[in-house]
Structure 1
Amino acid sequence: MEKWMRPANQTGNRWVTARRVITFPRRPLVMGILNVTPDSFSDGGLYLDPDRAVARAHQIVQEGADLLDIGGESTRPGADPVPAEVELDRIGPVLERLRGTIGIPISVDTYKPEVARVALEQGAEIVNDVSGGQWEPDLWEVIVHYQAGYVLTHSRGKPKIMQELAQYTNVVEEVKEFLAAQLRHLEARGLSRDHVVCDVGFGFGKNSEHNCTLLAHLDQFSDLGRPLLVGLSRKSFLKKIAGTGSLSVCTRAAEVWAAAHGARIWRVHEVADAVCASRLLGAVAGEVPEERKTW
């Protein structure tokens, strides 16, 4: 458990966003998910109404999340894309009403430069890009201009066809090579590495075997020199293992494993449960509750 019991210099211990510097504690940070969509795989349609979305955002904060990730387009495998205007219609009113009312950093889950630009103007400070810079070349220009925090994710193909492209010779090495190359390209464009965290992209162009292999070898990604974010919450490969009834338990187990092997951020639906698990890891590592927030 030593990997999460002390900050690891080789994976970086700070994340610079458009508005602050996040210093990582010993426990994993919890990023709460707010999907303002009709078709997300887990909570589609629950928070399309801005009033309900804003209420859920405040609930996520009250439950102890360290970050809030808002998305207006489902990127589940098989999903159809939506125009930027639709995405903005969904998340814009929520961001406007949240601005200045919550203290934790807001991330916007998008790959579209128009959406990222508006969100960053409205108070978001992180862009969570499932495309890893592959789908919209102008997105990185926006990230660099605002010097935003950035989640660099590995994926293969857009959601409609990504599972058809789940073919690898060595999934760990190929994902790591992609992330390393994109980190170099980002630096060349003007975004220093301390603005970036990496995500291996569980479920994005990967089958169950690929996902389990990545989870088993997550510690190998410490070579990238950046913190890792994992999005394991309610993923289908965990459902195949646990079934629907025990999916939450399986998710927590996978997240704790990930933390023990280098993950510094959990992206989750069930915020309260994840916060309890994270606080337990922090307590075992010797952190006291007052140290939970580090910015």
Structure 2
Amino acid sequence: MSAPRFRPLVQCGEGRPGGALPLTGGPLWFTHVERLERAMPPRILPATDLPADWREALTAPRPAIAGLRLDRPRIMGILNVTPDSFSDGGVHGDFTAARQGALAMVAAGADMIDIGGESTRPGSSAIGEAEEIARALPVIEALSQETRTPISIDTRKATVAAAALDAGAALVNDVSAFAYDAALAPLCAARGVPVCVMHSKGDPKTMQDDPRYDDVLLDVYDALEERIALLVSAGIPRSAILADPGIGFGKTHEHNLTLLRSIGLFHGLGCAILLGVSRKGFIGRFGREKRAEARAPGSIAVGLAGLAQGVQVLRVHDVAETAQAVRLWQAVHFGAEEIADA
């Protein structure tokens, strides 16, 4: 039988009781947790019943990532320099458009820019390293000279990551959870750079072919826990790891909703959480919008629901709209002074 997991039942507001525990050291708090165990019904317990290791994981402040303090929500802007990404393929396909798009995101409030030269949308195929580097590197080089905003390289390949880091990237975001290329984790450890580890099931070409889980929430949690342990053993500190449950990567629409309802569970990993839902298919289905580029309202709604459970980073296409929504979310919950420096 697997060990129990504990999901904090997150709250905010002025009614915080004296014994409430702070969620990851921030303004959100919890007094109770949901105990989750395979083949057992969930149980609600007082937070005082938490095992010591879980209490520490859920309450410890998350250190800065790539120079960004995580004391307020952060926005990662998506820049796909590819011809075939699911929602914006080709929009930033040439250098000029990519550079202008990235600078516009920075001006609109992006705290980080995530640049990807290979599409990993459902049904996509891998491309060669040289082609991926040729797409991403010129943009990274230019942006690292023109802005101090941290740059993330979205890649599964050590050769691509090394070139991107040399060009000025500050974080490596791997949708394969560092399982695609065995050389990537040691590279990141040697360079001392933070990483984002994302859960996916299968490779992009086949991941949406009838994905199945025994318990999607616990299966994804356990898989991420295993991958994070391997990264830590490779020399990457837990404090330098973002965890992403991989919404839409080897999941049905119902799987996605289950993960989103209980995303607070992933604080138990002891890492900051990144949530990437922007323009994805389940938003199109439940939001009744076939056009990916018109899914900003639904993407923002889901993102704010994630913030309410303590998610620290939102990965989005629509930066200006998301930044405005986040500022209002902060103002409503925590007061206008909380967004003075945003």
Q: Report the TM-score when normalising by structure 1.
A: 0.93
Do 2:74 and 2:314's aligned partners in 1 also have CA atoms closer than 8 Å?
A: yes
Equivalent residue number for residue 291 of structure 1:
341
- CA distance in structure 2 between the aligned counterparts of 1:113 and 1:281, rounded to whole angstroms: 38
Q: What is the percent sequence identity of the aligned residues?
A: 38
For 1:13, the aligned partner's letter is: R
Equivalent residue number for residue 195 of structure 1:
240
Shift of 1:223: 1.0
Q: 2:316 aligns with which of 253, 262, 268?
A: 268
* Aligned residue pair count: 288
Shift of 1:95: 1.2
Stretches of structure 1 that go unaligned for 5 or more consecutive residues are: none
- CA distance in structure 2 between the aligned counterparts of 1:16 and 1:265, rounded to whole angstroms: 10
Q: 1:91 aligns with which of 131, 136, 155?
A: 136
- CA distance in structure 2 between the aligned counterparts of 1:260 and 1:238, rounded to whole angstroms: 18
Q: Deviations over 1:264-293 (max 9, x none)?
A: 11100000000011111222323444432x
Equivalent residue number for residue 22 of structure 1:
68
Q: 1:180 aligns with which of 219, 225, 238?
A: 225
- CA distance in structure 2 between the aligned counterparts of 1:113 and 1:10, rounded to whole angstroms: 34
1:168 aligns with 2:202: no
For 1:232, the aligned partner's letter is: V
Do 1:108 and 1:128's aligned partners in 2 also have CA atoms closer than 8 Å?
A: yes
1:281 aligns with 2:302: no
For 1:94, the aligned partner's letter is: V
Stretches of structure 2 that go unaligned for 5 or more consecutive residues are: 1-10, 13-22, 30-57
Equivalent runs, 1:94-173 vs 2, <5 Å = 94-164=139-209, 166-173=211-218
- CA distance in structure 1 between the aligned counterparts of 2:319 and 2:284, rounded to whole angstroms: 18
- CA distance in structure 2 between the aligned counterparts of 1:94 and 1:168, rounded to whole angstroms: 39
Shift of 1:37: 0.2
Q: Which has the higher Rg, Structure 1 or Structure 2? A: 2
Do 2:28 and 2:310's aligned partners in 1 also have CA atoms closer than 8 Å?
A: no
Q: Aligned in 2, Cα 1:71/1:256: closer, same or farther, shift over 3 Å?
A: same
1:6 aligns with 2:54: no
Q: Secondary structure at the match of 2:248?
A: coil
- CA distance in structure 2 between the aligned counterparts of 1:144 and 1:32, rounded to whole angstroms: 25
For 1:15, the aligned partner's letter is: A
RMSD: 1.7
1:236 aligns with 2:286: no
- CA distance in structure 2 between the aligned counterparts of 1:121 and 1:46, rounded to whole angstroms: 26
Higher relative contact order (CA closer than 8 Å, sequence separation 6+): 1
Q: 2:303 aligns with which of 241, 245, 255?
A: 255
